[in-house]
């Protein structure tokens, strides 16, 4: 029997950890859903990744302290909208607390009422399959029921605490 092991305390600060994570370039998404009373919600997230091709699964994570946590935890569906390079202002707006996120935003209604943002590079309509509480976040695993993409669309990127609308040379 293998003795149980535990991780050692970190040898770095939270700032050092955040700076190191910033060296990994990611795409930018807006995760959207509709609450039980019909309200549309959405937030900017770059914690998106594929999990499985068969069945088609993706994941993203949300802070346990997020005001939208009850909606995402209880809802049956949500959508992952992968932003295009020309949607930087939308990413910034949906990242702000207390902002009017939906004013003037055009979208179609997807599975379970989740908004599908016009102009997104790709969309993934997900059934809220499972959740895992880890650290200060909850990891959501979605089973993709429908997906679309815009051929030739350039994605919005995030690296080192900044948005990039084109690939640096």
Q: Sketch the domain layout of the chain as residue ranges.
A: 25-98+106-159
Q: What is this structure's pTM?
A: 0.92
Residue 34: the pLDDT is: 96
Q: Which CATH superfamily is domain 25-98+106-159 in?
A: Electron Transport, Fmn-binding Protein; Chain A (2.30.110.10)
Compute the average pLDDT of residues 26-46. Answer: 95
CA atoms within 13 A on the CB side of 83: 30
* Residue 156: closest CA among 165, 147, 144: 165
Q: pLDDT tens digit string along 82-119?
A: 999 999 999 999 999 888 899 999 999 998 899 999 99
Burial of 6 (0-12, 13-18, 19+ CB in 10 A): exposed
| Strand (E) or helix (H) holding 57 | strand 57-63
């Amino acid at each position: 029997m293998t003795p149980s092991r535990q991780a050692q305390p970190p040898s770095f600060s939270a700032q050092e950890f955040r700076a190191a994570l910033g060296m990994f370039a990611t795409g930018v998404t807006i995760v959207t859903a509709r609450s039980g009373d019909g309200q549309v919600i959405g937030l900017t997230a770059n914690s998106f990744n594929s999990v499985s091709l068969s069945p088609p699964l993706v994941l993203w994570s949300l802070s346990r302290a997020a005001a939208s946590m009850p909606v995402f935890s209880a809802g049956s569906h949500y959508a992952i909208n992968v932003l295009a390079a020309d949607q930087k202002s939308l990413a910034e707006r949906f990242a702000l607390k207390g902002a009017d996120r939906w004013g003037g935003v055009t979208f179609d209604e997807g599975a379970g009422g989740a908004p599908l943002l016009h102009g997104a590079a790709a969309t993934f309509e997900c059934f809220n399959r499972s959740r895992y509480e880890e650290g200060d976040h909850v990891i959501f695993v979605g089973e993709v029921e429908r997906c679309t993409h815009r051929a030739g669309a350039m994605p919005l990127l995030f690296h080192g605490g900044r948005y990039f609308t084109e690939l640096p040379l």
